[in-house]
Amino acid sequence: MDTIISAQELAADLHQGAAPVILDVRYERGGPSGREAYEAGHIAGAVYVDLEADLAGPPGPAGRHPLPDTGVFEDAMRRAGVRRDSRVVVHDGGQGWAAARAWWILRWAGHGEVRVLDGGLPAWTAAGGELTTRGAAPEPGDFEAVPDSLPVLSADDAAALARTGVLLDARAAERYRGEVEPLDPVGGHIPGAVSAPTAGNVTADGTFRPTRELARRFAALGVTEGGGRVGVYCGSGVSAAQQVLALAVAGIDAALYVGSWSEWSADPARPVATGPLPG
């Protein structure tokens, strides 16, 4: 199954009148709403989707970005014009995290025809793609969610997988080591998890590395196609979705621990490892 689409491929689809539903998921942690950037200029026909409101539930014991209420997510997708048979392309401002979260949530909800715009909006404009300030008004869709169409890890599942398979920590290496922790109660990582920052999945221009390079990267981390169960977590289940996407590009299936470190570290009874080794 295709997981990413280039700016050139998307432009060709739009030129040929085969437009997919385009979801603009620009998001900046701690920054202003992505809607402001959307209204300042977006791909023609794209609909803005709010990560905090539409792709996650309220923060709490389950983490900063838990799974959204199914009804809330269905309504957001229907408003965006997503139908059961729609081809969907999602993009963000280039980091790939928010777009990957939208890709993962759609696939978790049973929608298979979804791809991420490789390199996000910067790749689109670099390829000569135009932007508009004209708002989109799609016909309402008939999207219906089928939850749990992708595997999801609980805290206990993640702990077990770190012992029996490969659990990748997608955060920056210094957070994994426990040297800094800007958001959560304690620094460090789940014992047994392997450090795998998402920055290693992309090139300098923000596009994904070629499939073979990704496969080599993950093999060096102990992950190979058909080599056993793989899971990923991050701070709150957003950047880890980009890692799940990168693994999919490399032909490897992985489960997401949605609660991630924000859920794990909220319980002082859970063990914490520090330093550069899995522990």
Q: How far is 121 from 204, CA to CA, in rounded Å? A: 15
Q: How far is 240 from 175, CA to CA, in rounded Å? A: 14
Question: Minimal CA–CA distance to 279: which of 127, 136, 176, 147?
Answer: 176
Q: How far is 174 from 182, CA to CA, in rounded Å? A: 11
Q: How far is 234 from 267, CA to CA, in rounded Å? A: 16
Cα end-to-end span (Å), the chain: 35
- Count CA atoms within 13 Å of residue 56 on its CB side: 21
Q: How far is 150 from 164, CA to CA, in rounded Å? A: 20
For 101, 178, 191, the CA distances from 169, given in Å and listed in that order, are 16, 12, 11
Q: How far is 190 from 203, CA to CA, in rounded Å? A: 28
Taking the mean position of all CA atoms in its chain, how far away is CA 216?
Answer: 21
Catalytic residue status for 234: yes
Q: Which of 234, 238, 240, 258 is catalytic?
A: 234
Residue 256 amino acid letter: L
Question: Minimal CA–CA distance to 4: which of 203, 212, 171, 242?
Answer: 242
Residues taking part in catalysis: 234
